[in-house]
Amino acid sequence: MDSFRLDGKRAVVTGGASGIGRAIATLFAHSGAEVYLLDLVAESAEAAAKAIAAESSAKVSAVACDVSDESSVIAAFAQIDGSVDILVNSAGIAHIGSLQTTSADDFDRLYRVNVRGTFLCMQSAVQIMSERKSGVILNLASIAATAGLSDRFAYSMTKGAVLAMTLSVAKDCLPHNIRCNCISPARVHTPFVDNFVAKNYPGKEAETIQKLAASQPIGRMGTPNEIAALALYLCSDAASFITGSDMPIDGGFKTLR
């Protein structure tokens, strides 16, 4: 893993207090990066930062940030006060519903966090990276961006937008030596999945988890650490020839179903 080291790099991870974001922040810290966790809940970000710093001996800082709010994002990047070598946009929310069952409020809520939040954080990061003519952006898209999924209308809309923004930014940032890619996971077993199942399928948790796992041809859900390993590679110098790419990590979902 030495070729994937991030020594001397400063990484910003949104949604870094839990789930995939926390796994990415943890692995980056263990790989030598100075990490800034941006999360909506300050207490959660601070607790995660302290835990990651304690186990990795890296410098890890917590920054409270509402990625959907422009002034909050600008203030967060101002608080970082220095170079940003890597931005990982992991903050996001999910929604269950078809076109007919999705309310306008739900649609707008998903858009504000998943699309507007990714846009605002990329805009702030690129402004810093462009001055140094160097940087890496990694966005969390989803298989929902390119595959039709039942009852994921608004969520799929947002992840399709994340993929499109990734390609556009990758093209526009070529002159600035900024790489931009995205990862498209299938279902990943995070605390969010467990909480969702417990809330919506009481008494049938084990059965439901098994059904969710079986939807991937490989027979299980992914883990946050597996997503983090791909993120580390794409944000390291080992991936310096990769930009404008959407990397599936889906247990064969798109090609082997």
Catalytic residues: 155
Q: Are 124 and 79 in contact (CB under 8 A)?
A: no
Q: Which amino acid is at 49?
A: A
